[in-house]
Structure 1
């Protein structure tokens, strides 16, 4: 699957989990695609400059983990490349660079700029009658609209993408589009509709051999089942998502699936399984030395102990979490944890 498709997949996970947008390294793939374009009747000097500008922008992005390109020469280099490709009439290359711009702006949270870039990409795909490009551009535009909470407009974009995908029998596109439509339905509280669309999406994602995309859909599906009060079906979906995340060694997918399983255990009142899942989450984050995930795990365990009336263990885990929050300078978490610890100490004193 191309890097444009991976953006649409990664963004869906981010919206539900409220985590960072996945950003695979794209410089190599893009450069190969651009330099493979036909060179007949094309000014070699301009193309060389354009290709070099793409590489420069990608290097700036990689050096800054996706943020330096926003405030440095990276964006300027990519915009320069677009101008050069426009001069030599290579619209396909322009579209690919617009994808890079949109993706980078999205990761940096500059949603208006991301939306503009993806709409320019869509216009080029339509002019070139590039149906696959239209499918990915529409899904990316819809994803930005979801982040901006324009759900009705997002649904229109995803529906158009699904219509195009169905017309050309594009398996990957149908999986992404249906999954995104299911996400919108879930966010709008239309849970039965969300479940129907996500169940259909998982079939296409399985056919496309897109394990992480299928896991995203399954996690969405688990959330929808949980919202309907069906904890058993929610657990099954999240468990399958965890298995796929483990197969692909994809940590964000695994954490999200574990969180879904924890919610389903809580909904079903399965206390022992809930504790095991919480401990599994803590062990996974500790193995990775992922301080923020360790912090999240410790807070979740402390909260569980507090809810069950085990105040001593609740205070212990809150204090461990506070140490981590201080070490990573997580000020909001630090303040929250100090408040919780203070409340627990006061409660014990009053007893």
Structure 2
């Protein structure tokens, strides 16, 4: 899977009280009101915007993309009013990734391209590298594989030119996604293995776990299940140590699938129990829904239809609760097909 990247130095300790900031009244980036501020209120406004941006980054990291958007929009309004172009770029990073996590791709692409323009205008090479990577991964998500590859190659060229090790690792890792999409699994494995060298040099546990998860995906596509399990397992250990919930959940998903394929069902159920616990601790209904759906698929595969039905029904309730109509319809269809057997 892809890695969306926030610029380094953006993360702070998580406080539960920070998860519900004042909601911005604007519904779209282009609808922000840019009120001029007096010099006496400039510092106070800047501190408020910085706090909102940090909160938004933590919310995104924890999987609360909707809250991250609200925090980001309010921060963006303030940064516009005080004329801080660099901070606007960082905020567009956050908004772009958050919109994409919510599957609002048009708004996400708009934010990411605005971020890239700012990076180019200010000759911010690191911003250009990460901006191009984010746009490249979005193009991949839209199915534009060739355009994505060209964008990511541009990012890699800049990273090598300015000797940005972190950017080089990120670009190589994301180019592995292009190779997988093209069915070039051995090439993808080599790209990920090279990317890991740079990830480890920068001591970036989140980046390393993400690339390991990508490498696990490549091994899975190549049907090398032994290396698949070992690689996802390494990603899971790193993510657990760094409390990196997104990569932890993703590694568990990969391990559940791989263990199921080789018939280690009890291990798959143990991992699913871990996944559900994490989702409930985060109070993240979307991840809880995914856990129920995985349980349902696994019980269905084992022919335990009554238990599978129970989990499908619980997943449907959650899909309805978070108003995910597409997933709700898919789950109902899957349940209907199973009950016809």
Instruction: Write the deviation string for residues 169-224 of structure 1: whole angstroms up to 9, x where unpaired.
Output: 43212211111111222223222111110011011111211001100001111111
Q: Distance in 1 between matches of 2:47 and 2:324?
A: 35
Tell me what 2:264 maps to: 270
State how 1:202-221 maps to structure 2 within 5 Å.
Answer: 202-221=196-215
Instruction: Write the deviation string for residues 286-315 of structure 1: whole angstroms up to 9, x where unpaired.
Output: 444433222221221122221222222222
Q: Distance in 1 between matches of 2:190 and 2:7?
A: 29
State how 1:2-151 maps to structure 2 within 5 Å.
Answer: 12-13=2-3, 26=10, 54-55=46-47, 57-58=49-50, 65-68=67-70, 74-82=75-83, 94-108=85-99, 109=104, 110-126=107-123, 131-151=125-145
> Quick check: 1:211–1:248 contact (8 Å CA) kept in 2?
yes
Tell me what 2:183 maps to: 189
Instruction: Write the deviation string for residues 127-169 of structure 1: whole angstroms up to 9, x where unpaired.
Output: xxx5444433433443443344433233233223323333444
> Quick check: 1:99–1:121 contact (8 Å CA) kept in 2?
no
Query: How far is 1:265 from its partner?
Result: 1.6
Which of these two proteins has the greater Rg computed from alpha carbons? 1
Instruction: Give 3-state SS (helix, strand or coil) of 1:13's partner.
Output: coil
Instruction: Write the deviation string for residues 79-98 of structure 1: whole angstroms up to 9, x where unpaired.
Output: 3444xxxxxxxxxx634432
Instruction: Write the deviation string for residues 312-351 of structure 1: whole angstroms up to 9, x where unpaired.
Output: 222233334344445545444444444555555554xxxx
> Quick check: 1:53–1:80 contact (8 Å CA) kept in 2?
no
CA separation of 1:98 and 1:161: change in aligned 2, threshold 3 A? same
| TM norm structure 1 | 0.71
Q: Distance in 2 between matches of 1:245 and 1:175?
A: 18
Tell me what 1:316 maps to: 310
Instruction: Give 3-state SS (helix, strand or coil) of 2:67's partner.
Output: coil
CA separation of 1:113 and 1:102: change in aligned 2, threshold 3 A? farther
Instruction: Write the deviation string for residues 71-130 of structure 1: whole angstroms up to 9, x where unpaired.
Output: x66544433444xxxxxxxxxx6344323234324423413422432332332354xxx5
CA separation of 1:299 and 1:12: change in aligned 2, threshold 3 A? closer
| TM norm structure 2 | 0.73
Query: Does structure 1 residue 159 correspond to structure 2 residue 153?
Result: yes
Tell me what 1:303 maps to: 297
CA separation of 1:50 and 1:194: change in aligned 2, threshold 3 A? farther
Q: Distance in 1 between matches of 2:284 and 2:266?
A: 25
Instruction: Give 3-state SS (helix, strand or coil) of 1:65's partner.
Output: helix
> Quick check: 2:109–2:135 contact (8 Å CA) kept in 1?
no
Deviates more, 1:287-296 or 1:322-331: 322-331
Q: RCO (CA 8 Å, sep 6+): is it higher in 1 or 2?
A: 2
> Quick check: 2:185–2:218 contact (8 Å CA) kept in 1?
yes
> Quick check: 2:152–2:175 contact (8 Å CA) kept in 1?
yes
CA separation of 1:115 and 1:289: change in aligned 2, threshold 3 A? closer
Q: Distance in 1 between matches of 2:294 and 2:216?
A: 19
> Quick check: 1:179–1:198 contact (8 Å CA) kept in 2?
yes
Q: Distance in 1 between matches of 2:295 and 2:265?
A: 12
Instruction: Write the deviation string for residues 251-293 of structure 1: whole angstroms up to 9, x where unpaired.
Output: 1111100011112123333333333333332333344443322
Instruction: Give 3-state SS (helix, strand or coil) of 2:68's partner.
Output: coil
Alignment size in residue pairs: 301
